[in-house]
Amino acid sequence: MSTATRQTSAVGLVGRPMLIRLVLLTLLLLLDARLATGIKHSPRLVKRNSSSSSSSPPGNNATPERNNMVRGLRAPAVVDPRSPELLLRCEYDLGGNELYAVNWFRNEDVLFRYSPSLVPKATAYPGVADVNVSLEHSNAEQLLLIGHQDVQRNMKSYEGTYVCEVSTERPFLTDYGVANVSAAILPKANPVLEGLRHNYQVGEFLELACTSAPSLPPAELSFYLNGRKIDQSRVRSERMHPSNEATSSTRSELSLKLERQHFQNGILKVACVARIANLTQISRDYRVEAVIALGAANQPLAQAPPSPNSAAASRLYRYLGLLVVAFWAVGKIA
């Protein structure tokens, strides 16, 4: 009888704390496993270079009244303003008819006229567009423009909407090709993000800087959180203009207090996108992306991944730490 009582009391005194310990330990181990997976899948700075440049040949969708002679005006969608010249080609098929004239326009100013039946055949109209025509290299099929030494001047003198207008005699038919040319020095790389860590807590400030690669015109930078653009009023931007260079970089800084709603399933996607003004012809983004997590460990992002040994060691220490905490907690309860 007394043995039975002692047994009951033994279960009562020893068994219940043991049970609590086991339950607590299981919970802590589960938590530990979650932490470990969280760290194993710790976000890395993901860089993506999306390069989808499209430059559809313009002017080849001739309407009936345009007689379908011009196949296209071939011109670079973007010309480097440091380039000493700009070559434009007018591709056409007269269908056996005789060429009367090819007239070249830029923004409706006439630049050059080629007419085989006139003397001289080639005539340039200088001054109008602040660009010189090379008579030597311009003819029935092409126009060669000579640029300036000055990059800023070339920005203006190359850029524009070009038209080549072709006409035949006997019968008199006419057609034209159109091309838009932008002048820019494109960035050679995607922007760079600085100041990011792997993990943040709600209430902490996300402080980051994005710097674009040099370009002309300088890039406009935008921040995106989970695909949504941050209002420019929250962004501080400055231009960095190295001397002796036509190009400049943009540096933008964002400071944002993190709230729980910023994290979707515990992560926040950050992107910085650089856009070059007036480049409507190329639909190309220069962007950098990163993923950060809601978490306790505030590790610097630009850290080398821990070696397997040190990872195992830190897991062991954490495990031991959890055991100590578990027994302490159980001691308090019991």
Ligand X SMILES: *[C@@H]1O[C@H](CO)[C@@H](O)[C@H](O)[C@H]1NC(C)=O
Considering only residues 83, 217, 225, 282, which one is a binding residue for ligand X as defined by CB under 6 A? Answer: 217
Binding span for ligand X by CB under 6 A among 9-17, 62-70, 176-184, 319-327: 176-184
Query: Looking at residue 106, what DSSP letter applies?
Result: E
Could you tell me how far CA 253 lies from the centroid of its own chain? Answer: 16
Q: 28 vs 179, which CB is nearer to ligand X? A: 179
Contact set for ligand X, span 35-74 (CB under 6 A): 49, 58-59
Q: Is 161 in the site for ligand X (CB under 6 A)?
A: yes
Q: 59 vs 295, which CB is nearer to ligand X? A: 59
| Burial tier of 276 (Cβ tally within 10 Å: 0-12, 13-18, 19+) | buried
Give the Cβ contact number of residue 151 at 10 Å.
18
d(CA 21, CA 224): 46
Considering only residues 22, 23, 27, 146, which one is a binding residue for ligand X as defined by CB under 6 A? Answer: 146
Q: 179 vs 196, which CB is nearer to ligand X? A: 179
Binding span for ligand X by CB under 6 A among 83-91, 178-186, 250-258, 297-305: 178-186
Both tokens assigned to 138: 């311009």
Give the CA radius of gyration of the chain.
34
Min CB(157)–ligand X separation in Å:
7
Nearest alpha carbon to residue 200 among 268, 254, 252: 268
Which stretch of DSSP H or E encloses residue 92? strand 85-92
Helical pair 308-333 and 16-40, crossing angle rounded to 10 deg: 150
Binding span for ligand X by CB under 6 A among 13-21, 96-104, 174-182, 310-318: 174-182
Q: Is 248 in the site for ligand X (CB under 6 A)?
A: no
Show the CA angle centred on residue 300, arms to residues 313 and 228, nearest 5°: 130
Which residue has its beta carbon closest to ligand X?
58
Q: 131 vs 258, which CB is nearer to ligand X? A: 131
Q: Is 295 in the site for ligand X (CB under 6 A)?
A: no
What is the contact surface with ligand X in residues (CB under 6 A)?
A: 49, 58-59, 132, 146, 148, 161, 178-180, 217, 277-278
